[in-house]
Structures are given as C-alpha cells and as structure tokens.
Structure 1
Amino acid sequence: METYPVSTRRRLQDQVFVWDSRFGSRQKHHLESHRLTPENQDSIVTTFIRELRSRLDSPQHDYTALRDFLEKANEDDLKAIRGSAHDDKIRILLDDRRDDTGWEVNGLRHWARDWNSYADGYPPEGQNVVSSMMNAKGLYRKQQRSQLADGAERRILCISDLSPLCGLALIATAPRYQAPILRDYLQRYIRKCVFFGVQISVGFTLEFHLPYYALRSHAEKKEDS
C-alpha cells in the first residue's frame, strides 16, 4: 500500500476527476485503416499470401491450397456495380452493435460502461444494432466503409460454407496486420485441419477448427483426396 505526504493527499482529494466522453466509445486503432495494397502487377491474393511472411517459415507453409482456392474467384466481380454471372449467393450474417455507455447514479451522469449490467452472465444487447444478410459483394462494400462511421464498436460475421469469392472479400478488406492470422485460419479451414489455439500478438485470437463429414447416399462415388 502506497502512502503519500499530507500535502499530497490533500491535493489529490481536492481534485475533481471528470470522465472524458470520448472514452465512452471505442477509439479506432490506427492499424485498422492500413489495408493490403498490391504493388506492380501483383494480385490481392499474391499480396495476401506474401504479406508479413518470415524466412523461417517451414516448407509446408507455402499456402498452395489457399492460393488455389482464392484464385477461383475474381476481384472484379466484387468491384462491379452491376451483378454478374459469378455473383455469390447470400451466405453471410453480419451483426453490428455498440456497447451501452452512460449511466446515472444518484443523479450523476457517468459516461463509462455500467459493468453491473454484465453481472448476469450475458452482455447487454447494446445500441445501434444492425443485423443483415448479404453475399460476398455486399460484405466487400460493407467492409470498405469505416466500422465506427456506421456506429459499430464490434462486428460479428457468421459465414456459412465459405466460397472463394467470399474469402476474397475478406482478404481484400482486412487490415494489413491481420493478414498472417487470417491466412493461417483460412489455410486450416481449406485443408480441414483440426486445430485449437490461442494467440496474443497485436490482438487476441481464439481459434478452433472441428471439421466433420456428413455421410449421405448418392449415385456417384465421391473422390476425397
């Protein structure tokens, strides 16, 4: 326990601490605005595979399966204003929301979060809740805009049966610093690897893969390499 001289304690007691309302909402991390930018004639897939690689990476980390998967899609289909024959079907559920801030105690307004609202085991529903379903092109356009400009502190994506075009929408809009994490995740997903892991680098990543097969009767024999 720290002790202070009498004069210091009196000075601390006389200070009035005022919560800065700016901290009532999540501040945008500057790294989130730095996205992958292909150089020369490189494609976004090549840039994504190469980004933040290490010379110490083992040979099995060549991401051949991931490259083959992503190159089945065309980035022009994401940027096209009008629809095309390669449009992806709706397979994405997106949820945006902002945590509640601002609460009153004895008539005094506090701009921080009311942590007592988390005591029941579930977080509060939040504010500015927007849930929508979309395809890969819709995700690409949504991710191009600022998340905070849409009034969302946290964004949740649920993607059913990831397609190459959907994967392309993810890597083309992801922050640069997230490329290694997203690259390893997608590689494990494509190769149906069993994986449990926690990673703490720039952020916190909890990841697990539980691939499975659904067996059904069919007239043709399914080849599985």
Structure 2
Amino acid sequence: MDDSKRWDVIHQKTHHELKGPSIYARERENLFPRGSLIVDLGGGTGEDAIYFLQKDHSVVLLDISDFALKIAQDKAKANNLSERLAIRKVDFGLHQLPIKDDSVDIAYSRISLHYFESEHTIKIFQDIYKMLKTGGKAFLTFKSPEDVKEMEYLKNVAVEFEQNVYIENGQLRSRFSKEQLENFLKQAGINEFRVEAYQEKLANGDDSALLLNEIVFEKR
C-alpha cells in the first residue's frame, strides 16, 4: 500500500473522532499577524485549518490524503469559508512544496513532518524557510524521544534506520531529539531559531499529553 492510500485508510477510521482544533493551534494562533496567509503542512482533515479560517486567515492546506483533503474542503464549504482555503495534494517525501518563495506569513505543522530521515528533514526546513516572507514565521511540532513508552515500543517492533529514525510496517518514523533538530536547522542555513520541549494536552478530558519538540523561527 502506498503512503497516500495508507493515510486515506487512517483518516477514514479516525476523522469522525476529531472535535475541533488542537490546543496547539489555539495557543499559537494568537501569535499570528491578523489576516495571515498560512500554509498548513500535513493538516489532514483540516481541524486546525478551519479554525484559522474562522479567525479570518487564509490557508493553503497540504496533505498526502485525498480523503482528508475532501473532508477539509467539505467542512470549509459548510462553514462558508471555502473562498479562503486552497488544498493541494503533496507527498512531502517525493514532491517539491508547491508554494512560491517569499509568499507566506505563517508555516504551520502539527506533528506531521516526523516521517522522514535526517537529510530529507533538513531539505524540508530549507523549503519552509524559502516560502516565508521576510518576517514570516514557522511553528512546527515533532514527536519527541522523551516519550519513553513510545520509544520502547518502536525499539521493540520497528527496525532502526538511523539515530532516532525507525521503519515500522514500511513507514519511516522519526523521533529526533532537541539537539538533532537544532543541528538540522543549522545545516539548513537557519541560524536564528528556538527549539523547546512542549507538552500538548489532549482535548479528551483526562491528563494525557503529547510529548513534543516545538520549532519556531522567523525569516530575516
């Protein structure tokens, strides 16, 4: 099964469980300039993208899943927001990002770019930096190797490809450390950035949280 179909199946099983925007989207949207053009990388069925549209931003939603993009498009239409939403099918592992250089206010990605090895992750950082306008910012989160339970699972069931990168059922899963991400950003030519541990509480009423690393940088 190719990655596009794999993600179609995942979204078909889970899209009905999604209930509104992530806590991360709600927290970070306050930092966006009003009326921003946002590129949502790997935004799936558009829960966060719809929230950004409701806050009067414009969004280009990039994802590998036709099913997810259709769901996002239907949600936008149902909320009379489709005029400010553009969708593009993109495989970040194969395709150049279909965004013009120096055109974007905000690049946003919530736990959707940790499916690549180190060299390709560096390229993605370079492409994100290029798309930003001067003064534009990137807000990106990645799953962290500090999640001991998940790391034990990956070490037991997956094959190690390189440091903190595993192959599980034919799919790469990266769990880069803060230090690795800092090194990748420097290799991408991005000299001013912030990488910090971030815990995102889940909106399910209990105390569970995602253990993440957050990257923030601004194009100078």
Fold-level similarity (TM above 0.5): no
TM interval, shorter chain, is under 0.3
Give the strand-richer structure, 1 or 2.
Answer: 2
Higher Cα Rg, which structure: 1
Normalising by structure 1, report the TM-score.
0.25
